[in-house]
Amino acid sequence: MEKFNEIYETAISWTKEAGKNIKESLSEQLRVEYKTSEADLVTEKDREIEEFFIRKIKERYPNHHIIGEEGMGEDTSFNPREEIVWLIDPIDGTTSFVHQKENFAISVAVYENGSPRVGIIYDPIREECYHALHGYGAFKNKERLKTVRETTVKHSLLGIDSSWLVPNDQYDYRKFHSLIQDIRGTRVIGSAALEMAAVASGKLNGFISLRLSPWDFAAGLVLLGELGVKATTIDNKPINLFEKTSICVGNQTFHRQLMQEYLGEEDKSK
């Protein structure tokens, strides 16, 4: 893990530098473009920050590979399970970035042969840096995070967007209705990375999303892996790190009760 210690420190310092850049740009006028629809935004800042990481990584670690949301370093000719790979979301929560100028984060993860090594989620507005080096625990700035508290559904706060309200292609939304009735409350931050960071710090007891990409959840999984959090797909299968997937994370008690009593999904992890 020696090697990753240096990568960890370096990645944190690059992430903070990028965060400072984003924060300072908030007063400027940003050009916003649509990707797949008018609800799918991208700004020049998303691309600039991703390019910043690609430049730094290529210079310092020329053998490493990069998977970023904006595809600035497009290179698909490698097997991510046999390499050191950086998974980067330059701005996770672009809609919040554009509309609210808060509630977004930079998400950076490093995996080696498909195994977690480094996870960083940085909220540059609150100056909160969640970080973990695999095997050494997870931190929020300098504070070491504790193993998450066990909670039942009745006592839980769940991060979930409004997908439970309407029919959708991903999941039978009606399955969520009795859960929403019984749970203490739900919250939407609009950044999957920050929602996973909130599970890490105990501000949420679980988080569900029906369709995420590797750069959305890769760093979060490194953090949560250090804190005893259960992480599966919504149908209770193991998560495939390098594919688009649903995500369901939470403390063991909450996750088990959610799957057994509400979603009717047996454990398919074995």
Chain residues binding ligand 2AM by CB under 6 A are: 36, 39-40, 69, 89, 92-95, 190-192, 212-213, 216
Please give the full DSSP string across 1-41, using - where no structure is assigned.
-HHHHHHHHHHHHHHHHHHHHHHHGGGS---EEESSSTTSE
Cβ density class 99-136: b for 16+ within 10 Å, e for less: eeeebbbbbbbbbbeeebbbbbbbbbbeebbbbbbbee
Structure-token match 């688009």, residue found: 244
Cβ-closest position to ligand 2AM: 192
Site pattern 192..231 for Ca ion (x: CB under 5 A): ------------------------x---------------
Yes or no: say if 103 and 95 are a contact pair by the CB < 8 Å rule.
Answer: no
Q: From the CB of 62, what's the least distance to ligand 2AM, in Å?
A: 27
User: In terms of CB distance, is 15 or 94 closer to ligand 2AM?
Assistant: 94
Give the contacts of 164 (CB within 8 A, at least 6 positions apart). 173, 176, 177, 179, 180
Q: Which does 166 bind (CB under 5 to 8 A by kind): ligand 2AM, Ca ion, none?
A: none
User: In terms of CB distance, is 92 or 123 closer to Ca ion?
Assistant: 92
Q: From the CB of 191, what's the least distance to ligand 2AM, in Å?
A: 5
Q: Which does 191 bind (CB under 5 to 8 A by kind): ligand 2AM, Ca ion, none?
A: ligand 2AM
| Helix (H) / strand (E) containing 221 | helix 214-225
Region binding Ca ion by CB under 5 A among candidate stretches 6-14, 66-74, 119-127, 180-188 = 66-74
**Candidate list 69, 112, 195, 226; residue touching Ca ion; CB under 5 A:** 69
Give the contacts of 9 (CB within 8 A, at least 6 positions apart). none
**Which residues in this chain contact Ca ion in the complex, by CB under 5 A?**
69, 89, 91-92, 216
